[in-house]
Structure formats: structure tokens, C-alpha cells
């Protein structure tokens, strides 16, 4: 069975992977060429590189279509120019399982629920997380061996440890702290005066950073926010760049981009280690995530976690826990501002049920339309546009032969815009989610299987509560009528932010 259902070009306009630092000099380009040759040799030694094929074949198996590209760099220029548009175009033009090449590195692209189920669920031991502690790339450069990037026994232990923190009963007890952070932001907006203008993306980043540090680590970082926010931005942009570019030089090479990354990582590490040190000096228990990490012991050795291990888990929650929710709230409020009919219906639900009060856990369960709006927002702009795995042994998926050692991209963005499952996929229509339907693999904003996001329930309750508070108090008017472009920086961000004017209700 082949999957070739496509859809029209997506209005992503000129979204770009943000570039950091200056343009490389000739010497850096020569060094980059040597690094590329080294990468080719390493990959070829592991039998992960094809010699510029047109199709991937094996006797008695179907061929995986190969995206046409340049002889030397393959499809690298398309990926750098507009990564998500490239993934969408390749799905439309070549089908739901394709192969593309970035210089010497060959990738697979999955864009259909059936294929994703076969790979991530039925063959989860074959499609594994990519992590090389000697040569980390992507998020591993920032997170080390945290829950998102770790594997094996370490991942199992950390997952069990953190599940207690994100149990439903524990999360609902955190709602008052989330509401306090929301009220503080709204009060600050009120002090700006009538008709004040703010960058919605920046405001949501500050808000969710405060929420995650207050709820998970019982501390505040508002006094450090002006250093933390741009540093995290630098780190995530750099991490995204290393995923798609084989010319990214090792961090020990003192390029402007590398120096900027190391400086930003130093700032974040200072904050994280400061939080850990401050807690170690405190005798009273806080019963939060940080307490659980400090008290945790290895089942076999009885040893506690090192500060480095704790740092990796703290920065994982610190980074991932605010970035995804900040983008979810930014995109949702943006979409509501562009669709006054949907906003009016949301006002009707909120005013009828809450009558101006802050919702509690029971109220949130009844805000069905608000939840549908968030789901539709995540469909259009998923918190993470892709999942990345590696094929660790030769295998077959739906009759296609896949070669060991190659990275596999599972496009959540393509899934969420697939015409077979989402009619008129570019329309913002929350009504879709008011109709009961099995969408296990066609809608997966937080991943799927055992590696799905452990904090998804927390993120949704947080977003639903904060959305309800903001929409009840004010309307946000877009200052720019042009459509906001999508930018890739691990997550899908609004490029350039979203400038709005605050109008109080």
C-alpha cells in the first residue's frame, strides 16, 4: 500500500532557520569542508551513507522514493531555506515515505499515521532516540542526558521518577500557582496603561518561564528574565541548526556562532546550578520536582544523582516546559485575534460558566470549546514540528526497506495537515475537535508511545487556565495585518514575534 495523499502549499511564506553569528570566512569554509569529509568518513564506516542514489532498493521490497536534489549537497539548500515547507512539498510530490539527502547524510521522512504506528509503536526498538555523548547534536547539546535525550536504563529510571510529579492529582494542586503568575502578568499589563502595545511571544515566554520555575522548582527567575530569555533563544536556534546542517562545526572551534552558544549555555547553567545550590542549603522540604531529584537514589547502587545529572533534568524541564506552552499560547491568541467568530464563541463559554472568576480544576473540565481551540491550534502549529529517531538495524515498514544507521524524521506538521484526515486542513476550525473521533496517530502534538511528552497534561491544563484568564480580561488586537510566518527553532515559533495592542474588556 502506498500513501500519496497530498495537500496544497502551506502559507509558511519565507520562514527561515535563524542564523547565528557572522558569515564564515574562507578559512572557516575550508575547515567546514574538512569537517564534512570527516563526517562522511565516519558515517560511511557505519554504513549509513548512500553514494548519491536515486532510489533505495532491495530485492522483494518496494523502493523508497528519493527526493531529487543537487549532486553534492542533495536537498540541503531546500531544507535551510524553508525546512517545514520542504518537508510538506516532499510529502506532496513524492508520497508519505520518502528519502532525502543533506550533503552526505541520508534521511527518511514519515508523514502518514499508519507508517508512524508501524515505526514508533510496533518497531520502537528499531527506531531509537539519537544520542552520542561524544558528538551530541540538537537538543542534546543543551540538555545533556536529560529525560528527552537519554536512553536505556537511565531513561527508564528518570521516567519513573518524574511520573510522580506529573500525576493528575499533583498537577491540579499547582493550579493556584499558575493562576498567580497569570494575574501578575495581567496586573503588569494594566500598569502599562490603556492601549498599551506588547510583543505577545515575549510576554508568553516570560509568563511560562515564571510558571515552570515556580511550580517545579519553587523559585522565581523574573529578576533574571532579561538574561535567560535571549540565552534560551540562542541555544534553541543553534540546536535546530545542528540537526539539518552537516557543516556545523564542533563547539571547540571558536566561530562567532559557537562562542555565542557557549556564552548562552554558561548563563543558563549559572542559573540552574544556582537553583540547585540554593535548595541544598534549605532544610525545609518543598515537595516539588527539584526535591524529588535531590532525594532520588539509584535502585541498584543506592547512589544519589550527581549535580550534573540533576542539572540535565532541571534544564530539560526548564527549557521544554516553557517553550512549548509559550508557543501554544502565542499561536492560540494570534489565531483568536484573526478569527473573531471563534473568539466570540469562546467568550460565550467563559462568561456563561465562569462569570469572571478564575477557573478551578472542575471548571477546566467543562470548558470544552476552550480545549477544542487549543487542540486546533496545536494541529495547525504543533509544539514540536518533527520527531527525530535513528534506524538502528535494517528493517521493513509497509513493504519498504529501510537501512540501518539513517536518521528518520516523523513530521508532526505533515500529519496535522494531511488532507486524508483533515479536510480543508489550513482552516482554523475548532469544531473538528467537538466530534468524537479516533485520532491517535493523525493528531499527536506531544508525540506518541513510551517516549511521548510526560508533561502533556500539565501543559494543557496550564494553557487552558492561562488562556481563560487572558481572554476574560482583555482582547488582543493585531498591529500587523500580514500573516505571521513560522520559524523553526526546535519548536515552531512566530517569526519576529506577534505585536498586539491590549484592549481591556
**C-alpha torsion angle, residues 377, 381, 383, 384 (rounded to 10):** 150
Report residue 360 CA to chain centroid gap: 28
| Whole-angstrom distance, CA of residue 342 vs CA of residue 328 | 17
Q: Which residue has the higher pLDDT, 164 or 431?
A: 431
- Average pLDDT for 208-218: 89
Answer for the pair 272, 198: CB distance below 8 angstroms, yes or no: no
Contact indicator for 472, 348 with CB cutoff of 8 Å: no
Q: β-pairing, 386-391 with 407-411?
A: antiparallel
3-state secondary structure of 294: helix
Query: Mean pLDDT across the stretch 395-418?
Result: 95
Nearest to 82 by CA among 387, 413, 500, 393: 413
- Computed over every residue of the chain, the mean pLDDT equals 84
DSSP code per residue over 69-110? -BTTTBTHHHHHH-HHHHHHHHHHHH-SEEEEEETTEEEEEE
Indicate the length of the chain as a whole number: 505
Using the predicted structure, report yes or no on whether residue 491 has a pLDDT greater than 90: no
Pairing of strands 105-110, 407-411: parallel
- Express each pLDDT in 215-273 by its tens digit: 888 888 878 878 888 898 899 888 888 876 666 788 888 999 999 999 999 999 999 99
Residues in CB range of 328: below 8 A, 6 or more apart: 374, 377, 378, 383, 459, 463
- Which structural domains are found in the chain, ordered by start? 26-504 (1.10.630.10)
Confidence band for 60, pLDDT divided at 50, 70 and 90: low
| Residue-wise pLDDT tens digits, 294-314 | 887 777 777 788 889 889 988
For residues 390-412, average pLDDT: 95
> What are 63-93's pLDDT values in tens digits?
899 999 999 999 999 988 888 889 999 999 9
Please indicate, yes or no, whether the overall pTM of this predicted structure exceeds 0.95. Answer: no
pLDDT at 40 over 90: no
Distance CA 188, CA 198 (A): 11
Report whether 76 contacts 67 (CB < 8 A). Answer: no
pLDDT band at 6 (very low <50, low <70, confident <90, very high): very low
Share of the chain above pLDDT 90, in %: 49
Angstrom distance (rounded) from CA 328 to CA 334: 10
Residues 6+ positions from 142 with CB-CB distance below 8 Å: 235, 236, 239, 265, 268, 315, 319
* Alpha-carbon gap, residue 316 to 319, rounded angstroms: 5
Q: How many CB atoms lie within 10 A of CB 357?
A: 12
Task: Note the Cα 39 to chain centre separation in Å.
Answer: 27
Beta bridge partners of 474: 504
Contact indicator for 64, 400 with CB cutoff of 8 Å = yes
Determine the average pLDDT of the residues in 126-140. Answer: 80
pLDDT at 47 over 50: no
- CA angle 316-216-237, nearest 5°? 30
Q: How far is CA 306 from CA 23, 135, 186, 209, 297, in A?
A: 39, 22, 39, 25, 10
pLDDT above 70: residue 142? yes
* R_g over Cα of the chain: 23
Give burial (CB, 10 Å; 0-12/13-18/19+) of 467: buried
Query: From CA 28, how far away is CA 169, in angstroms rounded?
Result: 54
Amino acid at each position: 500500500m502506498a500513501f500519496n495523499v497530498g495537500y496544497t502549499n502551506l502559507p509558511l511564506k519565507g520562514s527561515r532557520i535563524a542564523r547565528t553569528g557572522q558569515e564564515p570566512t574562507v578559512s572557516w569554509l575550508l575547515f567546514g569542508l574538512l569537517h564534512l569529509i570527516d563526517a562522511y568518513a565516519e558515517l560511511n564506516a557505519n554504513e549509513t551513507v548512500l553514494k548519491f542514489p536515486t532510489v533505495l532498493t532491495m530485492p522483494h521490497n518496494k523502493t523508497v522514493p528519493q527526493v531529487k536534489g543537487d549532486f553534492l549537497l542533495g536537498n540541503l539548500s531546500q531544507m535551510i531555506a524553508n525546512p517545514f515547507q520542504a518537508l510538506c512539498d516532499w510529502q506532496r510530490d513524492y508520497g508519505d515515505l520518502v528519502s532525502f539527502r543533506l550533503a552526505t547524510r541520508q534521511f527518511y521522512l514519515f508523514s502518514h499515521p499508519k507508517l508512524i504506528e508501524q515505526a514508533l509503536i510496533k518497531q520502537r526498538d528499531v527506531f531509537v532516540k539519537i544520542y552520542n555523548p561524544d558528538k551530541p547534536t540538537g537538543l542534546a547539546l543543551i540538555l545533556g542526558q536529560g529525560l528527552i535525550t537519554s536512553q536505556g536504563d537511565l531513561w527508564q529510571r528518570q521516567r519513573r521518577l518524574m511520573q510522580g510529579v506529573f500525576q493528575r492529582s499533583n498537577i491540579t494542586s499547582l493550579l493556584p500557582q499558575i493562576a498567580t503568575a497569570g494575574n501578575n502578568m495581567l496586573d503588569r499589563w494594566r500598569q502599562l496603561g490603556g492601549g498599551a502595545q506588547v510583543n505577545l511571544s515575549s510576554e508568553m515566554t516570560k509568563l511560562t518561564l515564571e510558571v515552570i520555575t515556580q511550580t517545579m522548582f519553587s523559585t522565581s527567575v523574573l529578576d533574571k528574565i532579561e538574561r535567560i530569555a535571549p540565552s534560551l533563544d540562542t541555544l534553541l536556534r543553534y540546536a535546530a541548526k545542528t540537526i539539518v546542517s552537516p557543516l556545523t562545526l564542533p563547539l571547540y572551534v571558536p566561530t562567532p556562532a559557537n562562542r555565542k552558544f557557549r556564552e548562552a549555555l554558561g548563563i543558563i547553567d549559572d542559573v540552574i546550578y544556582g537553583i540547585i545550590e540554593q535548595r541544598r542549603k534549605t532544610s525545609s522540604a518543598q515537595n516539588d520536582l527539584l526535591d524529588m531529584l535531590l532525594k532520588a537514589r539509584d535502585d541498584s547502587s543506592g547512589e544519589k544523582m550527581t549535580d550534573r545529572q540533576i542539572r540535565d533534568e532541571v534544564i530539560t524541564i526548564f527549557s521544554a516546559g516553557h517553550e512549548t506552552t509559550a508557543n501554544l499560547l502565542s499561536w492560540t491568541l494570534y489565531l483568536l485575534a484573526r478569527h473573531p467568530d471563534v473568539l466570540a464563541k469562546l467568550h460565550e463559554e467563559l462568561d456563561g460558566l465562569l462569570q469572571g472568576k478564575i477557573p478551578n480544576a472542575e471548571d477546566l473540565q467543562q470548558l470544552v470549546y476552550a480545549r477544542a481551540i487549543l487542540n486546533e491550534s496545536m494541529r495547525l502549529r504543533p509544539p514540536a514540528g518533527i520527531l527525530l529517531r535513528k534506524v538502528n538495524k535494517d528493517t521493513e515498514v509497509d513493504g519498504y526497506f529501510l537501512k540501518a544507521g539513517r536518521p528518520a524524521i516523523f513530521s508532526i506538521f505533515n500529519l496535522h495537515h494531511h488532507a486524508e484526515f483533515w479536510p480543508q486542513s489550513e482552516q482554523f476550525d475548532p469544531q473538528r475537535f467537538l466530534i468524537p473521533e479516533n485520532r491517535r496517530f493523525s493528531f499527536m502534538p506531544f508525540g506518541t508511545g513510551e517516549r511521548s511528552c510526560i508533561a502533556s497534561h500539565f501543559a494543557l491544563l496550564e494553557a487552558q487556565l492561562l488562556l481563560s484568564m487572558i481572554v476574560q480580561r482583555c482582547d488582543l488586537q493585531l498591529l500587523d495585518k500580514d500573516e505571521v510566518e513560522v520559524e523553526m527553532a526546535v519548536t515552531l515559533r512566530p517569526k519576529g514575534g506577534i505585536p498586539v495592542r491590549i484592549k481591556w474588556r
